[in-house]
């Protein structure tokens, strides 16, 4: 069964460093999303991406965040200068305009 994959599974970084989280969506899906979940809190929408551009973003997704689809398979989330409060699980999801399926997540720890 096709699935969304994400790398790395765990990323530890120092405050102020840049990180890139990677995702490979399900191959025939056209819509891509990033969500995050701070420990013990709700899953929160960050951004949606369609047709090589951002279609919607939340207030969390400020200038420190960017997304890119550098080739036909990968979808990345970049955080330019990480803060302690960026520590969370980051989930990539994809859909074929119906039900979003989530990847396993990347645990980002900012020290």
Partner 1 sequence: QKEVEQNSGPLSVPEGAIASLNCTYSDRGSQSFFWYRQYSGKSPELIMFIYSNGDKEDGRFTAQLNKASQYVSLLIRDSQPSDSATYLCAVVTNAGGTSYGKLTFGQGTILTVHP
Region from 14-22, 48-56, 59-67, 79-87 binding partner 1, contact rule CB under 8 A? 48-56
Please enumerate in sequence order all residues whose Cβ is within 8 A of that of 86, keeping only pairs 6 or more positions apart, or say none: 79, 108, 110
Under the criterion CB under 8 A, does residue 38 sit at the interface with partner 1?
no
Under the criterion CB under 8 A, does residue 102 sit at the interface with partner 1?
yes
Burial 49-60 (b: 16+ CB within 10 A, else e): beeeeeeebeee
Provide the minimum distance between the beta carbon of 58 and partner 1 in the complex, in angstroms, as a whole number: 8
Closest to partner 1 by CB, 14 vs 99, is 99
Region from 12-20, 66-74, 76-84, 103-111 binding partner 1, contact rule CB under 8 A? 103-111
Please enumerate in sequence order all residues whose Cβ is within 8 A of that of 23, keeping only pairs 6 or more positions apart, or say none: 4, 5, 6, 32, 34, 74, 75, 76, 77, 92, 94, 103
Pick one of 77, 82, 91, 110: the residue that binds partner 1 (CB under 8 A).
91
Footprint (CB under 8 A) of partner 1, residues 57-86: none
- Among all chains, which residue has been given the structure tokens 């699935």? 3
Interacting residues with partner 1 (CB under 8 A)? 31, 33, 35, 41-45, 48, 50, 55-56, 89, 91, 93-95, 97-105
């Amino acid at each position: 069964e096709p699935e969304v994959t994400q790398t790395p599974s765990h990323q530890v970084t120092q405050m102020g460093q840049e990180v890139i989280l990677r995702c490979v969506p399900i191959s025939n899906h056209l819509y891509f999303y990033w969500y995050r979940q701070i420990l013990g809190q709700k899953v929160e929408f960050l951004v949606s991406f369609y047709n090589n551009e951002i279609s919607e973003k939340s207030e969390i997704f400020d200038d420190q965040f960017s997304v890119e689809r550098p080739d036909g398979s990968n979808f990345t989330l970049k955080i330019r200068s990480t803060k302690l409060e960026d520590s969370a699980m980051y989930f990539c999801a994809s859909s074929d305009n119906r039900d979003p399926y989530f990847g396993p997540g990347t645990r980002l720890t900012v020290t």
